[in-house]
Copies of this chain bind each other. A is one copy, B any other.
Amino acid sequence: MRRLHHIVLSPYARKVRLALAEKRVEVELIEETPWTRELPFLRLNPAATVPVFVDDPGHGGAVVADSAAICEYLEETRPEPPLLAGDARQRAEIRRLVAWFDDKMMREVTANLVEERVMKKVRGGGHPDSGRIRAGSRNLVTHLEYIGWLADQRRWLAGDAISLADFAAAAHLSCLDYIDYVRWEAAPAAAKDWYQRIKSRPAFRTLLADHLPGFPPPEHYADLDF
C-alpha cells in the first residue's frame, strides 16, 4: 500500500494530499513527529520534513521526499488528470505560483500562525510569540487580496485549468481556516468564491475530516457553505 507520511497542519502535506486525491491515488496516512528525529523517519528523509511519499511495489516502492518533488513525481507517474497542464510557459506560471504560496505565503503567514498557535504547544516549545501572530494575521490580508486578484482575472489561479497552484494556495488557506484565522467576511469576494469552488471538490473531503487532538476546528471549517 502507498503511504504518505505527514502532519495534519502541514500545508506541504496538504497540497500533496489534494494532488493524490485529485488523481485518485489512495494512500495510507501516517502521522509523524519529525522534531523527535526518530531514526526510521530520518532514514526515509534525512531532511526530517514532511511530506514523504512511499509508492507501491508496482512503482518500485519509490520513496520521494519534498512536496515539490512529490508533485512532479506524481505528474510523471500518474499524468491524469494533469495538474501541470499547458505549454512550458503555462507550466512555469503554475510553478511560480506554487513557489509564491509555499515560500512567500508560508514565511509571511502560515509558518507564523500555525507555528505559534499550534505547533509550539504540540511540541511543548514555550509561549506563542504575539508579534509573529500579529504579523501573520496582517500579511494574510495581502495574500487573500492577491488570491482574489488572480481569481478575478482567471478561472483558476494559474489559468483556465485547475492546477497545483490552486492546491498549494488551498492547502495554506485550509490550515489557516482550521485554526480560524481567515476572516472570510472581510475577504475579497473572488477569493471566497474560488475557495468555495475548490473546497467543494471530492478531493477536498480528506482535509475536511481532519481532526487534531486538543485543537478542534471551528464549525465552519468543514462547511461547504461557510
Is A57 an interface residue, CB under 8 A from the partner? no
Are A88's CB and B73's CB within 8 A? yes
Is A99 an interface residue, CB under 8 A from the partner? yes
Is A4 an interface residue, CB under 8 A from the partner? no
Q: Which of A12-65 contact B (CB under 8 A)?
A: 46-47, 59-60, 62, 64-65
Q: Which of A47-99 contact B (CB under 8 A)?
A: 47, 59-60, 62, 64-66, 68-70, 72-73, 76-77, 88-89, 91-92, 95-96, 99
Main secondary structure, interface of A, reads helix
Are A73's CB and B99's CB within 8 A? no
Is A156 an interface residue, CB under 8 A from the partner? no
User: Nearest-CB distance from A45 to chain B (Å)?
Assistant: 8
With A69-B95, A99-B68, A99-B69 known to touch, is A62 a contact of B47 (CB < 8 Å)? no
Are B100's CB and A47's CB within 8 A? yes
Q: Find chain B residues with CB under 8 A from A66 CB.
A: 95-96, 99-100, 103
Are A88's CB and B65's CB within 8 A? no
With A69-B96, A96-B64, A99-B68 known to touch, is A76 a contact of B91 (CB < 8 Å)? yes
User: Nearest-CB distance from A36 to chain B (Å)?
Assistant: 18
Q: Find chain B residues with CB under 8 A from A47 CB.
A: 99-100, 103-104
Choice from B60, B96, B100 contacting A89 with Cβ under 8 Å: B60
Are A91's CB and B72's CB within 8 A? yes
A148 to B59 alpha-carbon distance, docked (Å): 30
Q: Which of A92-135 contact B (CB under 8 A)?
A: 92, 95-96, 99-100, 103-104
With A47-B100, A100-B47 known to touch, is A72 a contact of B89 (CB < 8 Å)? no
Q: Find chain B residues with CB under 8 A from A69 CB.
A: 92, 95-96, 99
Measured CB to CB, the nearest residue on chain B to A60 is B89
With A68-B99, A95-B68 known to touch, is A88 a contact of B62 (CB < 8 Å)? yes
Are B104's CB and A92's CB within 8 A? no
A220 to B73 alpha-carbon distance, docked (Å): 40
A147 to B75 alpha-carbon distance, docked (Å): 29
Q: Find chain B residues with CB under 8 A from A104 CB.
A: 47
A159 to B32 alpha-carbon distance, docked (Å): 29
